[in-house]
Amino acid sequence: MRILHTKPAEDGFYMPAEFAPHEGCLMIWPERADSWQYGAYAARKAFVRVIETIADSEKMTVFCSARQYDNARAQLSPRVRVAVLETDDAWARDIGPTFVVNGAGERRGVDWGFNAWGGIYPDCLRDAAAARRMCDLLDDDCYDLRGFICEGGSLHVDGEGTALVTEACLLNENRNPALDRAGIERVLCGALGVSKVIWLPRGIYQDETDEHVDNICAFVAPGEVVLAWTDDESDPQHALSAASLAALEAAVDAKGRKIKVHKLPLPAPVRITAEECEGLDRCEGEPTRTPGERLAASYVNFYIANGAVVMPAFGDPMDEKAQSILQGLFPTRKVVPIPARDILIGGGNIHCITQQIPRV
């Protein structure tokens, strides 16, 4: 693995869309006790279902701590590769490399700077070091973009020159305070090989990532997105989704196309229970969740595998509606809903715990 100090775009590399073919997918085995209740047993069950569903159509590599290796190996099917790598938590989307490709069949990783989403946990050095080590394992050269704080979940691309981000996250002064909007756009264009950045103002209410785009809006095809939506004007989410809709309606993509928006309904608010909170360690002496707290549940946080769309389900009447909408948008893939409350408690969802490796 070479560590490169140029920018992907200047070398002819770009990030392909998630719906382009994958060679495989990276995930991390959950263990952190202030993220995953009662020893992560419930979370692991949900992770295993996600892993095995993706493994039906992609080569899965799951990273875990040395302590958890034998257990992870026992829980996962033999077709899944398990590799030991110490991390601080299990968010492969945000701490893994963002992969870029060129027209000559080469793939490289982008190693962003990582500060635990602006500082959610104090010690994030193992997470910050993970992307480079994952690239090394895959034998992919790796761009050093550690000077720019960024998480994979804070961006989406259409593979045709357009990136989608939120102002709430990318402009937050807890990430890259020295850069203004134009400066951030320059970095994203250089790193992702895009020429156009579409900015949504906000994401999902109470999303502790500072409202990552991957929880509210995702490309389903070039020029087409799904947007998390509620018609309930009394829900604080309504104004956030409406602002994003307005931004999308006003935007054109890198090819000059208007954006077609498919509204994806939100489930009824999901609130953490006292019993669930009781099973979480304190972080820096403080609770990470309080009973009754609304979690940032959204069906948009799905993963597009080669053969499936792996969608979070919440045991809500809207589950079926969301599944049906996504199935209409992804006719060549099977939409697979997976009960994801135990992932959501950790602070993200299926997209956040996965990282695709594009096929070259």
Residues forming contacts to a second copy in the complex (CB under 8 A) are 1-3, 66, 69-70, 73, 78, 81-86, 126, 129, 132-133, 136-137, 139, 141
Cα gap 58→75, rounded to integer Å: 18
Least distance (Å) between residue 23 CB and a second copy: 13
Nearer CB in complex with a second copy: 11/136 = 136
| Alpha carbon distance, N-terminus to C-terminus of the chain | 17
| One-letter amino acid of 334 | K
Phi, psi (degrees; rounded to nearest 5) at 178: -80, -10
Cα gap 127→151, rounded to integer Å: 11
Nearer CB in complex with a second copy: 51/318 = 51
Length of the chain: 360
Least distance (Å) between residue 294 CB and a second copy: 37
Nearer CB in complex with a second copy: 15/82 = 82
CB burial of 144-155 (b: ≥16 within 10 Å; e: otherwise) equals ebeebbbbbbbb
Choose the catalytic residue: 25, 64, 150, 352: 352
Q: Is 2 exposed, middle or buried (0-12, 13-18, 19+ CB in 10 A)?
A: exposed
Least distance (Å) between residue 96 CB and a second copy: 15
What single string gives the DSSP state of each residue in 170-217?
HT-TTT-TT--HHHHHHHHHHHHT-SEEEEES--STT-TTT--GGGTE
Nearer CB in complex with a second copy: 24/30 = 24
Nearer CB in complex with a second copy: 83/268 = 83
Catalytic, 64? Answer no
Least distance (Å) between residue 235 CB and a second copy: 44
Least distance (Å) between residue 348 CB and a second copy: 24
Cα gap 8→101, rounded to integer Å: 9
Pinpoint the alpha helices (H) of 193-300.
236-250, 274-278
Q: Which residues are catalytic, by number?
A: 352
